[in-house]
Amino acid sequence: MPDKRFEDRVVLVTGGGTGIGQSIALAFAREGALVVVAGRRTQELKQTVVLAREEGGRADACTVDVTDEEQVAGLMGTILDRYGALHVACNNAGVPGSGRMLHEFGAEDWRRVTDTNLQGVWLSMRHQIPVMLKQGSGAVVNVASIAGIVGYLNAAPYTAAKHGVVGLTRTAAIDYGPAGIRVNAVCPGPVLTPMLEQARRDRGPSADEFYLRNIPLGRLARPEEVASAVLWLSSDSASYVTGQALAVDGGWTAQ
């Protein structure tokens, strides 16, 4: 049986309907959390809730677009009305943006990627942190990417946004550490998810060779491996860890 490190804690996971977000939500539920999964795709969110409940966990779903501040504020209001607290927030919602050189991306593509991957994280934190300030504690984990630590071939808007997420994480850790709030990021390498499948299509036949030649462990990550890192950063075991960008990348950024 898994440890119950998050017994009775309220946890929010954005982008919780598929891939990494779903794995994170299910991992929190297994460890006793009351998990709220949020995102744009209602059916996928409901499926995560079903899976969590089938394993004996507690979960709820809220449809929200993290690029819309009114919806983000409404989400936080709903969480407080239903559960009265927010102990952990994992800001995972994101979209892909790769496969072309910088000058080949148009303004619409740039906004689509940065609005979700960067502004969506900022808006989420903007409404999560006041709740944690009132509580006097909390943990935020933002899902960035190795593209937030190093340059990433043919992914200018994605890389810019994920570097921004790492910067937001570090600044928030400094700003809110005195108030008892820890803020960290995980930076996954390529992970076996639907988003990676989209990136593979964008990059074409050479995609897998590009990924694998850069990973010393010689394989792609599983979503649950990223989830394990998120849970550790959110837990009391990481009580003295804040402002960090933890690479979960099979060694990619060690080179």
Catalytic residues: 158
Q: How far is CA 181 from the centre of its chain?
A: 17
Residues 6+ away with beta carbon under 8 Å from 178: none
Distance of CA 165 to CAs 8, 17, 59, 70, Å? 29, 21, 27, 21
User: Whole-angstrom Cα distance, residue 245 to residue 167?
Assistant: 9
Other Cβ atoms closer than 10 A to 93: 24
In single-letter form, the type of residue at position 154 comes to N
Hey, what are 191's tokens?
């992970």
In single-letter form, the type of residue at position 40 comes to R
113: closest CA among 182, 172, 61, 165? 165
CA dihedral in degrees (223, 101, 253, 242; nearest 10)? Answer: -70
User: Whole-angstrom Cα distance, residue 160 to residue 181?
Assistant: 26
11 in helix, strand or coil?
strand
Instruction: Output the CA torsion sign for 66, 174, 227, 51.
Output: negative
31 in helix, strand or coil?
coil
